[in-house]
Amino acid sequence: MTAHQSNAGVMIIIQIVTSLAAIGVLWATVVWLTAEANLIAADQSRQRVEAEISAASADLAAIVQHTARWDNAYLWVMSGDAAQITSNIGSGTGTHGPFDYLFVTQPDGRPLYAFEGGERLDALPSDSASVIDALLLDLQGEAPTPFQTTSAYDLMDGELVLASASRIHPQEADPAEFDATPILIGMMRFDQSDIHDASTRLGLDRFQLDDWGTPAREGSIRAALRSATGQPVAFVSWFPARPGDTTMAAAVPVILTLSLILIMTSMAVGRGISRQTNAVLQQMMRARTDNLTGLLNRGGLEEAAASQEMSIALARGRVAVIYFDLNDFKPLNDNKGHAAGDIALQVVAERLQFSCRKSDIVARVGGDEFVCVVIDDDPEMAAHEMVNRLKVEMTQPINRDGLTTSLSISHGIAVSGLGGSWQDVMRMADDEMYKTKNRRRKSARTSKTAA
């Protein structure tokens, strides 16, 4: 009897040790998943911010390059036609223009014309010379190419600006003459209102602009805004989402209860681990889904993009990405509240799903930004057909839960080339979408001016 009791005691000890080992593994797993979820969220937020920084630079560079490649611009500058330059180029700094400052300089940086607020300046603003010199140094540091452009952030008169420089020369210029052509430099100011708009687009917490030399806030992430020399001139900082903490908070009471059950009986070990594993897996699944619309979020989209099917389709040029952005969504949020904005996003998500085929992938990747991925033998045609269906849907007003409004969309379509990468086709679609929005803004400004 004593031997049996001893054996029973040993079995109990073994069961307890086994249970404790299982509990230890479970705790370690949850802690690891928590850390991984937080790390992934932080990395994704950094990628979004860096993409936003690059997109702003690319957009300004495209506008400057478009102006610089204008044959008339070259003729006016070379002939010294100040009236035409002021009317057709300097007007870009007016109320409806894309620039805050515009400078035309000699190839060596000596100023020819300077504009602000649509008016010609008698002299360059203070601190602008150093910004111009840095851009020209970067521009001249490479072998000249047609419509070569460089962009950078910098400080001018204590203000953060994004500047872009490009050579002014006609379409059919002799490359040997590029070094002797004048330079066009466009600048845009950045202030807290621009940061607020970016925060809304990116959906980031406590997103702000930090001066160079300001200590980083504890727990925040920072991305540098660099000058043409590569030196940081300012930072944007934010606090990334921490989905892992939510998972941990939900898991702690469950694990504590489970631990007691496991210590009391070895039979509960398997059932407890199974329940907890399912809970963790469900948390991971929810982390890939947008809570508001039920669509995939950016993490879920990236996971789908990493699938073998997508890799094969990309390699064969069978993928089209359509990037959507709601027009005038911010005024809806500001005037009618975030609840109204949420209703509008839910309706748009439903219309997106209705307009897409079952085989298409639909995701919400930002505040009012959506992506549809089409895999087809003729992806471009399939993408345009999908956009046309959505445009028909969007002609109907939104009428739900007391909200009545109408919204339109801007979109950009990119098709993968043979062997193209997911990142390339996403970037191209995003670029095309922003071009569409810029055209829409310019058209709206033109209409207001005409009125």
Q: Residue 258 pLDDT > 80, yes or no?
A: no
264 with 372, same domain: the answer is: no
Residue 385: its pLDDT value, please? 95
Answer yes or no: is 292 within a domain. Answer: no
**For a pLDDT cut of 90, what percent of the chain falls above it?**
33
Six-digit token string for 175: 């490359």
227 with 168, same domain: the answer is: no
315 with 233, same domain: the answer is: no
Q: Tell me which of 190, 225, 257 is where a domain ends.
A: 190
Nearest by Cα to 122 from 68, 82, 162 = 82
Mean pLDDT of the chain: 84
440 with 302, same domain: the answer is: yes
**Which residue range forms the structural domain that includes residue 169?**
69-190
332 with 386, same domain: the answer is: yes
- pLDDT confidence of 380, banded at 50, 70, 90? very high
The conformation of residue 150, written as its DSSP 8-state character, comes to E
Q: What CATH number should be reported for the domain holding residue 368?
A: 3.30.70.270
Task: Determine the average pLDDT of the residues in 304-315.
Answer: 91
Nearest by Cα to 351 from 334, 376, 326, 375 = 326
340 with 357, same domain: the answer is: yes
> What angle do the packed helices 243-264 and 2-68 form, to 10 degrees?
170
Q: Residue 104 pLDDT > 60, yes or no?
A: yes
324 with 394, same domain: the answer is: yes
Asked if residue 184 lies in contact with residue 148, where contact means CB atoms within 8 angstroms, the answer is no
Q: What is the pLDDT of residues 128-137, one digit of tens each?
A: 888 888 888 8
Q: Which residue has the higher pLDDT, 451 or 360?
A: 360
Answer yes or no: is 47 within a domain. Answer: no
What's the number of domains the chain is made of?
4
Q: Tell me which of 256, 287, 318 is where a domain ends.
A: 287
322 with 424, same domain: the answer is: yes
Residue 28: count of CB within 10 angstroms of its CB: 10
**In a 3-state reduction of DSSP, which class is residue 145?**
coil
Q: What string of DSSP letters covers 166-215?
A: EE---TT--GGGGGGS-EEEEEEEE-HHHHHHHHHHHT-EEEEEEETTPP
Q: What is the pLDDT of residues 208-257, one digit of tens each?
A: 888 888 898 888 889 998 888 888 888 988 888 888 888 778 777 877 77
246 with 234, same domain: the answer is: no
Q: Residue 277 pLDDT > 70, yes or no?
A: no
Q: Which residue has the higher pLDDT, 258 or 12?
A: 258
Angle, alpha carbons 201-205-206 (nearest 5°): 105
444 with 304, same domain: the answer is: yes
Residue 1: its pLDDT value, please? 41
319 with 441, same domain: the answer is: yes
